[in-house]
Amino acid sequence: MHTHDVDEELVAAVAEVARTRCRGDNHTMAAAARATDGRIVTGVNAYHFTGGPCAELVVVGTAAAQGAYGLRTIVAVGDRDRGVVPPCGRCRQALLDYFPALEVVVPPRGRPPRGYR
């Protein structure tokens, strides 16, 4: 996927969730996925010292709970205006295992995560 191919509606949706729902230290990341049927599913992480789920994995579960078993694209955005953030290693592996063809929006090459909004 190239920068010009980014699903801007998806990025805007997750940025709004990060701005309005990520409050305090328990919820610091938001994620959104575009399901294969076109709908957008969102979620936030649930931080816990024991290793709570990342926002991307919350979205996978939420999508399944809503009957959206196929995901096309996913993106995560940090709170406090951090912009698009790439998935951690655990999420990368889980996303690859669940959705091998999934497109993941990441910041442009050579730019820190704040570089793409």
pLDDT tens-digit map of 3-40: 558 999 999 999 999 999 998 899 999 999 999 999 99
List of domains in the chain:
3-107 (3.40.140.10)
Whole-model pTM above 0.95?
A: no
Catalytic residue status for 8: no
Q: Are strands 29-35 and 40-44 parallel, antiparallel or unpaired?
A: antiparallel
Whether 117 has a pLDDT exceeding 50, the answer reads no
Active-site choice (9, 16, 56, 103): 56
Give residue 116's pLDDT: 44
User: What ranges make up the beta strands (E) of the chain?
Assistant: 29-35, 40-44, 71-78, 83-84, 103-104
Q: Higher-confidence residue: 11 or 111?
A: 11
Supply φ then ψ for residue 102, to 5 degrees. Answer: -60, 135
- Model confidence at 104, pLDDT cuts 50, 70, 90, reads very high
DSSP state of 49: T
